[in-house]
Structure 1
Amino acid sequence: MALSITNLSKQYNAQKTAVSNLSLQINKGVLGLLGPNGAGKSTLMKMIATISIPSSGSLLLEGIDIVQNPNSIRKVLGYLPQDFGVYPNLNAYEFLEYIAAMKGLGGKGLRQRIDLLLESVNLTADAKRPIGTYSGGMKQRIGIAQALLNDPKVLIFDEPTVGLDPEERVRFRQLIADLAQDSIIILSSHIVSDIESIADEVAIMQEGKLITHASQYDIIKQAEGRIFEVLLDNNDLNAFKHHYKVIDTARQADQVRTRYISTGQAAAPLSTQVTATLEDAYLILTQTN
């Protein structure tokens, strides 16, 4: 299964272009989608999910035009939007049965499928409580469950780990890893470590354009030799930030261990070069494009 995106654009008016001339080939596995706010990630995912119609360009799933034939992807699609809403008076079973009916799902195996999904997102014990009493993280987990109801072959997750505690984030990553062998999974997140731990390939967007698409290894290679750490006195940190892009700091007594990008200039004295991460490469790429 493959999703081919060619010269895709979404323009709302003469002043606002959300996605501009984007081309991307997505195969089975997990594609991590990164980009700053307003980069066009959610708009791209809405077009793939056939919720928004492109202004131009093509979207083909296995050679079938999903803009002209939206049902060709909808029947194999699982989608968790960023602004996912629930019916607060329904419990988890009732809500998932309602979503299943909307998707045309039924039969003897439906209740068993719901039981398995509730177990996979750790909601079995709370399944009969009204969803309106759930925490934000629990609502997010029921959103993940509804996206998996129809055993989809194309999965789109927009900020799926928002509100999840560390244990649930690990559970989600394991769930996605199990699904990735047989499905196309597109996952957008501001938590770069989630993308780093799960994605086979990474696409980075900025201002509606695709600035890179490659394996994690190849993207991280672009940051090699440019990431350093140095131990600074507390009083020197602000001045240091005027010369270098600081990524992270950790206080140690009266000093600050500072991780930074050296972009074009020599590394600061007494610095140590450190191994680059996906987050390092993301920061470099989005600040130089």
Structure 2
Amino acid sequence: MEIWIEDLNKSYGEKQALSDFTALFENGIYGILGPNGAGKSTLMNILTDNLLRDSGRILLDGEEILDMKEKYREIMGYMPQQQQLYDTFTVQQFLLYIGALRGMSRKRILGNMTRLLHLLNLEDMRYTKLKELSGGMKQRVLLLQALLHNPKVLILDEPTAGLDPRERIRLRNFIADLSRDKIILIATHVVSDIEFISKEILLMKDGRLLDMAPSEELQKKIAGKVFEVSIPSEKLKQVKQEYRVSNIYRSGENVVVRILSDEVPGEYEYREVVPGMEDVYLYQLEDRNQREE
């Protein structure tokens, strides 16, 4: 199975939210990385048929998804960014409602629900009202409703938003286990959510796709541009003004600052270091002219 997106465009008035977006997705996880306003949510909403595109094509195994209509919705699951839930519903009532909207039989809903409640560690919450759940539990319920009909395409918009580290890791590992026979798209601005589980990572900025490759390849592209400089603490403000800074830590009496630079920072004591995905994010997606005050 594959999804081919070709020359996708969407604007809101004079704001170009997506510009000539083209990408190919096959089974596996794809992380869509970019700052707020990059066009990630617009792309998600077009892919879920919640938003009309201005131009371009989206083909699932060669067939335009707009022509597939209900057939496409039957194989697509969507986890939205916001926790828009019916607070007075219990978990089971909510999932029965969602399943009914999808045209599923009650028997199929209950069977799939029971299996997924177990997998997502929500069995004890089955009859709990949604308003009584923690943020992490609500996120798992949102993921469960997206999986209820066993979709082949799973679209997740900021799936770990607001979660503590433990919940984030648990949800990330569960998503990774799903990827053998599904196309999973994860839109996020949190690098750690997708760095190690993604088949490929897409870098988006201002509605454009800047790059799409495995994380290792993206990191190699900025090799020789990441350094650590050891400086007295009184020079920290100056370094922040001169370079993009991705990390700071103390070492003895000095401060070690991780910076990104197209040129060797020869005016300081430095060493070249291996790039990580946070360095890629900063180098590719942050404003290069912006300096920290």
Matches within 5 A, 1:31-110: 31-110=30-109
Tell me the CA shift for residue 268 of structure 1. 4.8
Q: Following the alignment from structure 2 to structure 1, what is the Cα–Cα distance between the partners of residues 180 and 143?
A: 18
Letter in 1 for 2:171: F
Q: Following the alignment from structure 1 to structure 2, what is the Cα–Cα distance between the partners of residues 162 and 192?
A: 12
* Structure 2 SS opposite 1:96: helix
CA, structure 1 residues 268+155, in 2 after alignment: closer, same or farther (shift >3 Å)?
farther
Aligned to 2:21: 22
Please, what TM-score do these two structures have when normalized by structure 1?
0.94
Tell me the CA shift for residue 67 of structure 1. 2.2
Q: Following the alignment from structure 1 to structure 2, what is the Cα–Cα distance between the partners of residues 97 and 65?
A: 30
CA contact (8 A) 2:201 2:214 kept: yes
Q: Does 1:4 align with 2:7?
A: no
Q: Following the alignment from structure 1 to structure 2, what is the Cα–Cα distance between the partners of residues 182 and 191?
A: 25
Q: Following the alignment from structure 2 to structure 1, what is the Cα–Cα distance between the partners of residues 115 and 165?
A: 22
Q: Does 1:135 align with 2:134?
A: yes
Name the stretch that deviates more: 265-274 or 172-181.
Answer: 265-274
Tell me the CA shift for residue 232 of structure 1. 2.5
Residue deviations 1:201-249 (CA, integer Å, cap 9, x gap): 0111111111111122211111212111223222110011122211111
Aligned to 1:165: 164
Tell me the CA shift for residue 161 of structure 1. 0.7
* Structure 1 SS opposite 2:195: helix
Q: Following the alignment from structure 2 to structure 1, what is the Cα–Cα distance between the partners of residues 137 and 20?
A: 37
CA, structure 1 residues 230+22, in 2 after alignment: closer, same or farther (shift >3 Å)?
same
Please, what TM-score do these two structures have when normalized by structure 2?
0.93
What runs of 5+ residues in structure 1 fail to find an aligned partner? none
* CA RMSD of superposed structures (Å): 1.7
Tell me the CA shift for residue 267 of structure 1. 4.7
Letter in 2 for 1:16: K
CA contact (8 A) 1:137 1:164 kept: yes
Length, aligned pairs only = 288
Q: Following the alignment from structure 2 to structure 1, what is the Cα–Cα distance between the partners of residues 141 and 267?
A: 48
Q: Does 1:194 align with 2:199?
A: no
CA contact (8 A) 2:100 2:106 kept: no
Q: Following the alignment from structure 1 to structure 2, what is the Cα–Cα distance between the partners of residues 228 and 179?
A: 37
CA contact (8 A) 1:53 1:67 kept: no
